[in-house]
Chain A
Amino acid sequence: MAQMPALIPKEVEIQRLKKIWLIVIAMGSTAASVEVDNFVDGSLHQTSIRDSAFTPAHWWLYSHFITLPLGWAAAAIYDRKVPVLRGPNNSINTGLKMTILGYLATMFTIGVNEMWHFWFVEEIFAVPNHWMFNMGVVVAFMGALAYVVRVYARLVELGAETPGENPYVAEMYKMALEGKLYSRAIP
């Protein structure tokens, strides 16, 4: 794997990466629970076409729009203590940038969504007001994946985690360490 410069002692870096990992596991649990709520929410809309944002199946679904941005903000703040996770020109990590942009799009679209549903009382997944909403979540998750893989790859490089045996997975970790998981041009 690529040799990264040691800017902080190895032991310190492992401890800090694992603290980021704690946040990631907590957010992973949240994301997994929302996958379950996709079915709960779907069954609600079988009987109740359009209802308040405050019905229970929506509390569960929308809570992750609060939890995940706050969690990624916590990760972004703590992330500054790990030099290897910095983005180009010592900016914020590119994966975290994508995550923040994705959630900003989602937050903006919550307002658009409510305006649309004021006039059109339906809940069809593919209507235009949902487009940026859903694409924002996808962009946020893509950025988050790039970041998570990079954290894990660094833990592997430092000897704190077991490397992947599958050569394709190992290649993905190598690309992530070089900051090129999604683009060879943008580190």
Chain B
Amino acid sequence: MTLPKGFGSSGAGGASSSDVERMIGRRVENMTGMITLSYIAAWAATFGGTAAGYFYYPWAYPTNSGHYAFIVLTIIEAIGYLFCVKVMEEGSKKNSNGLIAGVIGATAVGTVILSLYVGF
């Protein structure tokens, strides 16, 4: 197997386990924290985007429409978040089901509270 420049020992032979580690970089099963933060950021940005709609353009975008979009998008984002973490951790010994349940539950409660009290 030909390895990229800088890998392997003096040009000959296969990849050692340290070579494989260097070629991989951060493993996908260790990206759960980054994925979780991205999901929360996307959820917050979704609220910000819809809120900008019904605060600045209330004649074109009623608050109810904004909350509809916010709720639907939150559901879609939550499904994407779930898929991301589960697919990245499958085949490894890692298990973040508790974290996923906590984060999705928290955003679900947050979505309901924001939709009930903001923008009316």
Contact = CB atoms under 8 A, between A and B. Distances in A.
A156 to B, nearest CB: 13
Contact of B84 (A26, A37, A44, A60): A26
Contacts of B49: 59-60
Contact of A19 (B20, B28, B60): B28
A56 B24 contact: no
Given A9-B23, A11-B24, A22-B28, A59 B53 contact: yes
A84 to B, nearest CB: 14
Contact of A25 (B15, B25, B80): B80
Interface string A81-96: 0000000000000000
Interface residues of B, number: 34
A12 B1 contact: no
Interface in A13-38: 15-16, 18-19, 21-22, 25-26, 28-29, 32-33, 36-37
Given A6-B1, A8-B23, A22-B35, A56 B80 contact: no
B73 interface: yes
Interface of B: 1-2, 15, 20, 23-25, 27-28, 31, 35, 49-50, 53-54, 57, 60-61, 65-66, 68-69, 72-73, 76-77, 79-80, 83-84, 87-88, 90-91
Given A8-B1, A25-B83, 14 more contacts: A8-B23, A12-B20, A12-B23, A12-B24, A18-B88, A25-B80, A29-B77, A29-B79, A37-B69, A40-B68, A56-B61, A59-B49, A60-B69, A160-B91
